[in-house]
Structure 1
Amino acid sequence: MEFNDVIHGHTSIREYEDREVSQEMLDQILEAGIRASSSGNMQSYSIIVTRDKELKKKLYTPHMEQSMVVDAPVLLTFCADFNRMRKWLELNDAPVHFDNFMSFMIGAIDATLAAQNVALAAENAGLGICYMGSTLANCDQIGERLNLPPNVVPVVGYSLGYPAEAPALRDRLPMSGLVHYEQYQDYSEEDIQAIYKERNEKGWQRYMSVPRLKEMIEELGLKNLAQVYTIAKYTKESHLEFSQTVLNYLEKQNFMKNDADSN
């Protein structure tokens, strides 16, 4: 495929053919991930490949019971990982730190860059993926099931396989609403109305075209897409709960040291 076709043709695939992804294919796309940019070339991430059906069943609940978790032939979980780096430092008589929030952020960015490289390589090879925000939201449960040691936290994950559906392209906000030149230019009310005009219309139509979603919207008395996002999909309460989950897990996984003698 042409690179621009891969970029502009992306859709989230939730239904997959009953067909395995060969190890050769998997190695090829994972190698693309390893070539991603990395802070200091530390490659402070690990990639966990899950094929085992029983393990995928155990991941089904923490991944919020999304069907592709068990239906896709492969799950990929990209983790911020300073466990490996810290062991290397210790073996070489170097200070052993990287156990703070900044270190987690470096690992999380590295993991995300690798994840997107793998996703592009996979789509270029005719595979489909669907990112799952549940990877970070329920990082503690997923980390437990994946047997993650200290200084390793799941950040990004997605299903992977051969598509059994061809969903329509989803709209994106216009470039004029996302790109700022030289400095950030804050938005007027008129700017916001223009930027979200198409999203308001197409997003609302999409939700109302699905019977179960339409029923939910009507039961909640929602009047627009903004209300759908904040009252039905991403509530303040759920985000506060997930935030605390992540912070607690970062503490447990040794990423929240702030003293001078951390080790």
Structure 2
Amino acid sequence: MDTLNYFSTRRTIRRYEPSRTVSIELIDKMLEDAARAANTGNMQTYSVIVSTDPEEIARLSPAHFNQPAITGAKAVLTFCIDFNRFNHWCRINSTEPGLNNLQGFTWGVIDTSIFAQQFVTIAEMNGLGTCYLGTTTYNAGQIAETLGLPSDVVPVITVTVGYPAESPELQERLPIGAIVHHSRYVNPSDDELREVYSEKENLESSKQFVKENNKENLAQVFAEVRYPRAANEQFSRVYKEYLKNQGIAL
């Protein structure tokens, strides 16, 4: 592992060596190190469910639309907001917790995300490949049922893990000037925005996306095909209803 250039050359890995397993001992040690990450009030309102058995992973796969990254994974880690443990601790000590609201939920999402990212960095520095699955909040209820999550435990992030069986090209990123603002936010002009997105739009893969989806430009592919409003609102309703059933008032 080239640690000096790790961040500038980091790749998401979706295909894993089928014959190489990832030991529970290694995963536990990496999670122990990852748990040193910063978190709100040192409450650690998160938990992670580690799935390594192929049958367990197979049961989780439909909730993630059977993506190759999960069907071929050697370990699947579901990172969750966990108010259950903290709430129970408070109540056996004669006090009533107050985290089941927007503020507490926001803390939980942030802290769970930091924990997950610290694990991903540690795993990749140990020669493993990882992939975040953005489908976790789509089917949170189904995932919770599969994993036997109690009330007040909410899945927010899934990471698949294995030894890499691919070395994909580096994905493009926006120029750093597009995302860094000094002193105050600077709203870009139309021409500046076109320049910012020009590299992404001119990639052959992007042009292919536009052509395949019969659209005029890449923005339309993102807004109308990949992440359309109707689908976003539908999954928002499903997730919000699940959170409501968990007693979290947003």
TM-score range, shorter chain: over 0.9
| Pairing 1:8–2:1 present | no
Residue 150 (structure 1) shift: 1.2
Between the two proteins, the alignment pairs up a number of residues equal to 249
| Pairing 1:253–2:246 present | yes
Q: Which amino acid aligns with 1:226?
A: A
List aligned pairs for 1:49-198, cutoff 5 A.
49-198=50-199
Match of 1:260 in 2: none
Rounded to whole Å, the distance in 2 between the matches of 1:122 and 1:172 is 23
Q: Deviations over 1:32-85 (max 9, x none)?
A: 220111000011100110112222112111102202212111001111111100
Q: Which amino acid aligns with 1:15?
A: R
Rounded to whole Å, the distance in 1 between the matches of 2:233 and 2:198 is 29
Residue 136 (structure 1) shift: 1.5
Match of 1:228 in 2: 221
Q: Deviations over 1:209-238 (max 9, x none)?
A: 6xxxx5xx5464212211111222111111
Tell me, what secondary structure is at the counterpart of 1:164?
coil
Query: What is the aligned-residue identity percentage?
Result: 37
Q: Which amino acid aligns with 1:206?
A: S
Report if the CA contact (8 A) 1:39-1:110 is conserved: yes
**4+ residue runs of structure 1 moved beyond 4 angstroms?**
none
5+ residue gaps, structure 2, are: none
5+ residue gaps, structure 1, are: 258-263
Rounded to whole Å, the distance in 2 between the matches of 1:207 and 1:186 is 25
Q: Which amino acid aligns with 1:139?
A: A
Rounded to whole Å, the distance in 2 between the matches of 1:122 and 1:96 is 34
- When the two chains are superposed, the root-mean-square deviation of aligned CA atoms in Å is 1.6
Provide the TM-score with structure 1 as the length reference. 0.90
Residue 27 (structure 1) shift: 2.1
Provide the TM-score with structure 2 as the length reference. 0.94
Rounded to whole Å, the distance in 1 between the matches of 2:245 and 2:68 is 29
Tell me, what secondary structure is at the counterpart of 1:143?
helix
Residue 115 (structure 1) shift: 0.5
- Change over 3 Å in CA distance of 1:8–1:165 after alignment to 2: same
| Pairing 1:20–2:13 present | no
Rounded to whole Å, the distance in 1 between the matches of 2:113 and 2:29 is 18
Residue 21 (structure 1) shift: 0.6
Q: Which amino acid aligns with 2:244?
A: E
